[in-house]
Amino acid sequence: MTDTAHVDSFVRDHLPPPEQWPEFLFPLPELQYPARLNCGVELLDRMVAAGQGERPCLRAPGLVWSYAETLSRANRIARLLTEEMGVVPGNRVLLHAPNTPWLAACWLAVMKAGAVAVTTMPLLRAGELEKVVRKAEIRHALCDARLAPELEKCRQRVPELANVVLFGTEAADGLEARIAGRSDDFSNCPTAATDPALLAFTSGTTGVPKACVHFHRDVLAMCDSFSKHIVQPRPDDLFSGSPPLGFTFGLGGLLCFPLRVGASTLLLEQGSPPRLAEAIERFRVTCLFTAPTAYRAMLGLVGAQDFGSLRRCVSAGEALPKPTWEAFHRATGIRLIDGIGATEMIHIFISAADEEIRPGATGKPVPGYVATVLDENFEECPPGVPGRLAVKGPTGCRYLADPRQSEYVQRGWNITGDTYVRDEDGYFFHRARSDDMIISAGYNIAGPEVEVALLTHPAVAECGVVGVPDPERGQIVKAFVVLAAGHRPGAELVKELQEHVKATIAPYKYPRAISFVPELPRTATGKLQRYRLRELAREEA
């Protein structure tokens, strides 16, 4: 591995040994990348050189930066990083901000400088930031001034994080002031296609977070597989959505996919369903990226807000329940694009669009990827038999210095930790996270299947289903239900919901216990935290 532009070899030195890497596949012409490749250059300089300079690139309410203006800012930030902050290729740069054009420009600058971006969720607290800074040995940070207090607390605990520059401030030592006088050209770092470009921390629930290493080529591969073949964006598209750029779902959908084709992106600091719905109407968003629960919540706003501009709507992060797909389709005529992605894979690898969509299925392997369902002995499960989802393609899992590498990657396959079933036509259906399967009186029950059944009842706004210990049955199925407006909790409704599930799916799967709750516990990326529901159930017992 001499073919690198990294001067600081920390990330490369802490990659897993080659025999623990997944197998990589590049089966399409668009996935053949040259040995030297800088994804920031491909996404930005290349577009300006191709005559896109005057077209809109980054937007926020009240602001539009063209491709040329974005390039000018990214170049001046790259100069600040390399000329003044002392960043050298391979150094990690922490980026901490809500989704804004400045954050996007900083990310592009980090790429162009050959540094390694570590973008964190804006909601992280000092203690969580500390784990990231220690694990990735970070000395440099660019941070939104509004989030400075939390980062400052972190810096006091890790003094190695010496070099913090704030943006979104008029202060004389702020980023805007410090780039103002700089020349707006920059000599881009000639990174290798296999030089690390980013560390993506997983939204793991406990313990030390895992950092996934992704190369410059991986950033382009997510654009040239899922986006090119399933989203099929056009230069006149306007992308928007809720996932933070610190979550690779957001990095792809809200930054890289639009820039790869010369389209524009509307970055929103607040991506709650009402804000999103408002922005869709006001800015005429065409491609939307958000979570299944947000699509369900937006159903209630369909009459009040005009969604007529939407052309592509991508749902990921959790399973998209069939009732949500159907209700959204009835209300808007839009066929939601479900897709399973993972931080380890950088983006979506099973999905479908348009007429290929089968509501209730995640889809088929995205062009560039192969996927299968394996049993404990690594034998392929026949159609109809659930097993472990396994996938390979142009991207894959490489944890930074982590023994858990050999759990995620086995025999060249990325094992995502999901239980899936295939049908005869090759469609993949999500059952549950493998650790979330409920075993009750000898039956295997997938929590999400019970959730789907409950969601078809009008009283249910949201729900989460888990297994709780039971002396007789091993586990019983327990549902936590958030009621829709106008419905009241009570023994009668419990009975009604139980009967409803028994009439919808095999009766043995019905929830023997139901609790009504005001809201469900979710991660910063919007995922239901089933382990917290299990804790809650234990506390109640």
Q: Which stretch binds ligand 3UK (CB under 6 A): 4-12, 79-87, 310-318, 474-482?
A: 310-318
Positions in 203-232 near ligand 3UK (CB under 6 A)? 203
Cβ distance to ligand 3UK smaller for residue 82 or 248: 248
| CB nearer ligand 3UK, residue 242 or residue 416 | 416
Contacts of ligand 3UK in 363-422 (CB under 6 A):
416-418
Sign of CA dihedral 221, 222, 226, 229: negative
163 contributes a contact to ligand 3UK by CB under 6 A = no
Near ligand 3UK by CB under 6 A: residue from 72, 120, 225, 248: 248
CB of 413 to ligand 3UK, least distance (A): 14
Residue with Cβ nearer ligand 3UK (91 or 202)? 202
Count the neighbouring beta carbons within 10 Å of the beta carbon of residue 30.
16
Q: Are strands 513-516 and 409-410 parallel, antiparallel or unpaired?
A: unpaired
Q: Is 140 in a helix, a strand, or coil?
A: strand
Taking CB positions, which residue lies at the least distance from ligand 3UK? 341
Binding of ligand 3UK by 430 (CB under 6 A): yes
User: CB-wise, 95 or 113, nearer to ligand 3UK?
Assistant: 95
What is the footprint of ligand 3UK within residues 188-207 (CB under 6 A)? 202-203
318 binds ligand 3UK (CB under 6 A): yes
Rule CB under 6 A: choose which of 319, 455, 481, 533 binds ligand 3UK: 319
d(CA 409, CA 432): 19
Residues β-bridged to residue 475: 469
Contacts 24+ apart (CB under 8 A), 158-162: 158/130, 158/133, 158/134, 160/133, 161/94, 161/133
Sequence-distant (≥ 6) Cβ neighbours of residue 135 within 8 angstroms = 208, 209, 211, 400
For residue 211, what is the enclosing H or E element?
A: strand 211-215
Decide if residue 440 touches ligand 3UK (CB under 6 A): no
d(CA 109, CA 106): 5
| Candidate residues 67, 249, 413, 427; the one interacting with ligand 3UK per rule CB under 6 A | 249
Reduce the DSSP state of residue 191 to 3 states and report it.
Answer: coil
Q: Tell me whether residue 264 or residue 343 sits nearer to ligand 3UK (CB atom).
A: 343
Q: How many CB atoms lie within 10 A of CB 62?
A: 5
Q: Are 297 and 322 in contact (CB under 8 A)?
A: no
Question: Whose Cβ is closer to ligand 3UK: residue 194's or residue 203's?
Answer: 203
Q: In the bound complex, what is the minimum distance in angstroms from residue 407's beta carbon to ligand 3UK?
A: 13
- Contacts with ligand 3UK by CB under 6 A: the residue count is 24
Residue matched to tokens 């996007």 = 104
The site map against ligand 3UK for 325-364 (x = CB under 6 A) is -------------xxxxxx---xx-------------x--
The runs of H, that is alpha helices, within 398-486 are 405-408, 447-455
Residues that bind ligand 3UK (CB under 6 A): 202-203, 248-249, 316-320, 338-343, 347-348, 362, 416-418, 430, 433, 525
